[in-house]
């Protein structure tokens, strides 16, 4: 049916008017554009480029069985295992040994930093090993020489006899931002060349250790230790070192992991390659936390700095006039925010340096001057060393006598104070300030007696220590370095 001309014209005019009105309204308020979801990063090119420079590290050890265990017939041991009969824990293992009688001890990761075969990893990965093997992505395997280790920062430098190796590119933590994507490559549980990714959760995370860490949510598990943490440019920004696990005996990833900042690691590695050890400064004080309550009580404007609990007799600090009860707020021009900062700042100061110290005492700030001494530690594994701790220090413990007032406050009959816990002691959970009451069921009352006792113990056995921490007592098991 045909429409009348007048009706048709009216309809066309109405449509035109509607179109003009719609255009005008769009100009005033354009329709919302649906946001396109941001695409996730693609790590493939990064992994293909960096992966060949990441290595697997295996450590081997010689069997250290007791005489009674060695007398067990191998066939009898195997029969006992298959039938669920307990075998002595120190009985020699029959599997996983090579032609030299070495047994696999552990697995970790590392990465090549120079084409002539220099490899970085964690100190704890190779701690106590009799032999270290490095395997490349192309399955070439080399026996590695330990150029040096530094338990304080958990950095170790290895050398393999090779040339033209693929190398990583070293970045800087200064350019790293919280929330940035990062990638880890390593050998968790022995699974070579495993790639995991996440974001930076925090920078300069203080965990109470000497070293501050990069915190991430990248999946890190046993075996990832020593491997690289990479930014999106494929640069190494950290060495994966620790994870926050729910079981100290068998730690596994639960969402939080830590990496050593590469800037710190490279400084340590340079010293280890040059001299086989790291030289650090010391002033001879025992620092503690400055709580808000303490700050308010002494009228310190801000709860920061390091409260000095003790000054060693004859130490650089004593000679400089630093006293117990002082709060060190600045050292060599650097602000001491937390008490753990003091050890790091002093440690990074070259021995012999005349450094300025700002202390807060009796309600006022004072400026002092101290000549930094050298921190004497056990030698790192280097040229002419077999990588073993000196006799009596295989536990990584530095001990001191418990002050009379502390002994009285804790109602202790016996005990020695942990001045420093490294390597095996740190891994067992011991920390500075703990009081060791007994070692191997023997009460200890003086640091000299406890050190002599440790020196006599069998380094092939786990040692029990009764430990007092504040008002609580516990038993800590320490496996010494061999």
Tens digit of each residue's pLDDT (9 = 90 or more) over 120-169 = 999 999 988 889 999 999 999 999 999 999 988 999 999 999 999 999 99
CA 65/CA 129 separation, integer angstroms = 16
Query: Tell me, what's the pLDDT at 90?
Result: 47
Residue of 109, 201, 225, 380 marked catalytic: 225
Q: Is residue 29 part of a domain?
A: no
Tell me: do 458 and 409 sit in the same domain. yes
CA atoms within 13 A on the CB side of 2: 3
Query: Tell me, what's the pLDDT at 96?
Result: 52
Q: Is residue 356 part of a domain?
A: yes
Residue 39's pLDDT band (boundaries 50, 70, 90)? Answer: confident
Residue of 109, 127, 150, 154 marked catalytic: 154
Please tell me the least confidently modeled range out of 215-219, 252-256, 347-351: 252-256
Encoded tokens for 388: 């073993």
Tell me: do 240 and 209 sit in the same domain. yes
pLDDT (mean) for 272-282: 91
Q: Is residue 27 part of a domain?
A: no
Residue-wise pLDDT for 60-94, tens only, equals 987 754 434 444 555 555 555 544 555 554 444 44
Determine whether the annotation assigns residue 154 to a binding site.
yes
CATH number of the domain encompassing residue 301: 2.30.42.10
CA 450/CA 327 separation, integer angstroms = 31
Residue 389's pLDDT band (boundaries 50, 70, 90)? Answer: very low
Residue of 124, 127, 201, 264 marked catalytic: 124
Q: Is residue 270 part of a domain?
A: no
Residue 270's pLDDT band (boundaries 50, 70, 90)? Answer: very high
Query: Tell me, what's the pLDDT at 87?
Result: 53
Query: Tell me, what's the pLDDT at 69?
Result: 43
Domain boundary among 136, 159, 182: 159
Percent of the chain predicted with pLDDT > 90: 46
Tell me: do 365 and 285 sit in the same domain. yes
Q: Is residue 28 part of a domain?
A: no
* Neighbour count for residue 142 (Cβ, 10 Å): 19
Gyration radius of the chain's alpha carbons = 30
Determine whether the annotation assigns residue 117 to a binding site.
no
Residue-wise pLDDT for 167-216, tens only, equals 999 999 999 999 999 999 999 988 999 999 999 999 988 876 678 899 99
Q: Which of 140-149, 409-418, 434-443, 454-463 has the highest mean pLDDT?
A: 140-149
Determine whether the annotation assigns residue 124 to a binding site.
yes
Q: Is residue 366 part of a domain?
A: yes
Q: Is residue 109 part of a domain?
A: yes
Domain boundary among 134, 159, 184: 159
What average pLDDT is seen over the chain?
82
pLDDT (mean) for 284-313: 90
| Annotated catalytic residue 39 | no
Encoded tokens for 236: 């190494």
Please tell me the least confidently modeled range out of 65-74, 96-105, 257-266, 405-414: 65-74
CA 59/CA 102 separation, integer angstroms = 9
**The domain containing residue 312 runs over which residues?**
281-374
CATH number of the domain encompassing residue 178: 2.40.10.10
CA 67/CA 90 separation, integer angstroms = 10
Q: Is the pLDDT of residue 230 over 90?
A: yes
pLDDT (mean) for 358-365: 93
Percent of the chain predicted with pLDDT > 70: 78
Residues 167-203, buried b or exposed e (16+ Cβ, 10 A)? bbebbebeebeeeebbbbbbbbeeebbbbbbbebbeb
Query: Tell me, what's the pLDDT at 318?
Result: 93
Determine whether the annotation assigns residue 223 to a binding site.
yes
Higher pLDDT, 212 or 27: 212
Q: Is residue 37 part of a domain?
A: no
- When divided into structural domains, the chain yields a total of 4
Domain boundary among 159, 181, 200: 159
Query: Tell me, what's the pLDDT at 70?
Result: 46
């Amino acid at each position: 049916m045909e429409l009348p001309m007048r009706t048709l014209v009216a309809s066309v005019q109405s449509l035109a008017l509607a179109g003009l009105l719609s255009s005008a309204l769009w100009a005033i308020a354009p329709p919302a554009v649906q946001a396109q979801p941001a695409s996730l990063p693609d790590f493939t090119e990064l992994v293909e480029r960096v992966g060949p420079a990441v290595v697997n590290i295996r450590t081997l050890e010689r069997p250290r069985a007791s005489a009674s265990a060695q007398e067990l017939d191998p066939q009898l041991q195997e029969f006992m295992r298959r039938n669920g009969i307990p075998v002595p824990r120190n009985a020699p293992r029959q599997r996983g040994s090579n032609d030299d009688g070495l047994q696999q001890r552990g697995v970790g990761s590392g990465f090549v930093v120079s084409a002539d075969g220099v490899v970085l990893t964690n100190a704890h990965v190779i701690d106590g090993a009799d032999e270290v093997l490095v395997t490349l992505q192309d399955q070439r395997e080399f026996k590695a020489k330990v150029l040096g280790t530094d338990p304080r920062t958990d950095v170790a430098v290895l050398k393999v006899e090779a040339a033209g190796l693929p190398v990583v590119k070293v970045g800087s933590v200064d350019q790293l931002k919280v929330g940035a994507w990062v990638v880890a490559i390593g050998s968790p549980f022995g699974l070579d060349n495993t790639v995991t990714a996440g974001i930076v959760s925090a920078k300069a995370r203080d965990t109470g250790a000497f070293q501050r860490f990069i915190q991430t949510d990248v999946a890190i598990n046993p075996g990832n230790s020593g491997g690289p943490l990479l930014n999106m440019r494929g640069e190494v920004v950290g060495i994966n070192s620790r994870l926050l696990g729910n079981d100290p005996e068998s730690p596994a990833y639960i969402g939080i992991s830590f990496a050593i900042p590469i800037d710190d690691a490279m400084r340590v590695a340079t010293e280890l390659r040059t001299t086989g050890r790291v030289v650090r400064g010391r002033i001879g004080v025992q620092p503690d936390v400055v709580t808000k309550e303490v700050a308010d009580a002494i009228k310190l404007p801000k709860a920061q700095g390091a409260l000095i609990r003790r000054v060693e007799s004859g130490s650089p600090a004593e000679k400089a006039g630093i006293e117990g009860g002082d709060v060190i707020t600045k050292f060599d021009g650097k602000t001491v925010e937390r008490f753990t900062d003091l050890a790091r700042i002093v440690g990074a100061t070259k021995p012999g340096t005349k450094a300025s110290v700002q202390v807060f005492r009796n309600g006022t700030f004072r400026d002092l001057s101290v000549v930094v001494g050298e921190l004497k530690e056990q030698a790192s594994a280097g040229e002419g060393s077999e990588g073993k701790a000196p006799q009596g220090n295989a536990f990584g413990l530095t001990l001191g006598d418990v002050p009379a007032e502390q002994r009285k406050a804790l109602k202790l009959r016996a005990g020695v104070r942990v001045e420093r816990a490294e390597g095996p002691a740190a891994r067992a959970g011991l920390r500075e300030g703990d009081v060791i009451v007994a070692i191997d069921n023997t009460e200890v009352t003086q640091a000299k007696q406890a050190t002599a006792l440790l020196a006599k113990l069998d380094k092939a056995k786990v040692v029990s220590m009764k430990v007092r921490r504040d008002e609580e007592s516990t038993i800590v098991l320490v496996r010494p370095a061999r």
